[in-house]
Chains A and B, each alone.
Chain A
Amino acid sequence: MNINDQLLAALGLYGLPVLSSLIFFTSLGIPLPATFALVVAGSFVELGDMNLWWVVALGAVAAIIGDQAAYAIGRWGGHRLSQRFTRWFGGAKQLDRAENTVNRWGWAGIFFSRWLVTPLSPWVNYTSGITGYPYHRFLLWDVSGEVLWVILYVLAGMQFSDRVQALMETLGSLAWVEIGLIAAAIFGWLLFKNLRNSRK
């Protein structure tokens, strides 16, 4: 039996506690169908089985708490581990450079990984903690992104309440389109910079 189907069956039967738990553990990086659960919850809202405001409120709170937990793990566990690692094997300069980049561009990574490129979200939580991204800024972009994510997917589930599986297939493909576009932009920028430097 498919574990995802079992979890969605539990969502239908027990409702909000299952939805919140799925979202919380997904924020920690455990591969669970949180986005699909949100869309199905939207469909159940449309059928009158769930309350829209409770779904949005509990979904967003669960996601935010999960993200804070992952950030804390990265900050207290991962940061120490990376410091020890650089002391033993070197690479302190590279770590500093990574920290600077995250501090400069971290807001975009945090905000867009919440609702646009959701598979990257847990890894952004951990790296934000490891690189010591300022907590108040992390919280600000995290809350904005997660509230947007929950509202968007629940509304999509309500709009396409009679065809959630087809919707999820489309959204799954679109996530890959976004990842491909980001990768293309990064490779394009690296190549452009490399060529410009080699001409000098």
Chain B
Amino acid sequence: MEKLFHPHYTASIFHCQLINTFPLLCDLSLSALCGFVVNLFLVIIISMAEPRKINWQQWLFILGFVVSLVIVVIFALRAFSHAPRQRVNEPIRMWMTIPYISHSYHIPEYVLYQALGLPFVPRDRRPLTVIARQQNRTIASVIAALQEAIKLSRPPYPTPLPFPPGTPLPPGETPPSATVPRGPS
């Protein structure tokens, strides 16, 4: 119990909560700011004009102003919700190369090459569309094979070695402990 209220634990819990609620806080503060701007603008307009004397041109400008701000709020919320704050599983596209997918999914390149039945090629710049054409396969089947390999490289399955099995280790290096199979806890 004492451990639970240790300053480090409470600080880390607070930190996690802050990170999780950060996008929401941003959204709320942005909405509040936009609301404030609209209200301020309307107050200025009302103070400048007698409401019944606003002509059609002025109504058009008000409409344009409000529509523009609605666009701002909608796309700002969208931008915040899509913000690349943490690691995301990007959908695999035909323009991607094996090194890019390996980098994006944090999976060794050789695993992806093995999934496609290809030898490891250093600095390979071929996009998936070219690999699919060379293998006489559809792009969908290539993507499906890669997705399966990615799935099998993540928990609860064993984490693959960072280099192909059987590769001699550099002198003084020990095999990584992450090769131990991890089951669901």
Contacts and interface: CB of A to CB of B under 8 A. Distances in A.
Contacts of A194: 57-58, 61
Given A166-B90, A169-B82, A180-B75, A13 B126 contact: yes
B79 A173 contact: yes
Contact of B95 (A5, A181, A198): A5
A105 B45 CA distance: 26
Contacts of B84: 160, 163, 166-167, 170
Interface stretch (A92-100, A134-142, A183-191): A183-191
A12 interface: yes
Contacts of A195: 45, 48-49, 58
Interface size class of A (residues with CB under 8 A): 35 or more
Q: Dominant SS at the B interface?
A: helix
B141 interface: no
Interface in B47-78: 48-49, 53, 55, 57-58, 61-62, 64-65, 68-69, 71-72, 75-76, 78
Interface in A125-171: 160-167, 169-170
Contacts of B65: 184, 187-188, 191
B96 to A, nearest CB: 8
Nearest to B76: A177
A191 B95 CA distance: 47
A199 B48 contact: yes
Interface in B88-122: 88, 90-91, 93-97, 99-100, 103-104, 106
A29 to B, nearest CB: 23
Contacts of A170: 79, 82-84
A180 B69 contact: yes
A13 B130 contact: yes
A49 B127 CA distance: 13
Interface residues of B, number: 45
Chain A interface SS verdict (over half): helix
Contacts of B6: none
A47 interface: yes
B87 interface: yes
B88 A191 contact: no
A196 B68 contact: no
A140 to B, nearest CB: 30
Interface string A1-44: 11001111101110100000000000000000000000010011
Nearest to A162: B104
B3 interface: no
Contacts of B153: none
Interface string A48-82: 11000000000000000000000000000000000
A108 interface: no
A176 interface: yes
A188 B83 CA distance: 29
Interface string B8-47: 0000000000000000000000000000000001001100
7 contacts: A5-B94, A12-B125, A163-B84, A165-B90, A173-B76, A184-B69, A198-B55
Given A1-B94, A12-B126, A194-B58, 4 more contacts: A47-B103, A161-B103, A187-B64, A194-B57
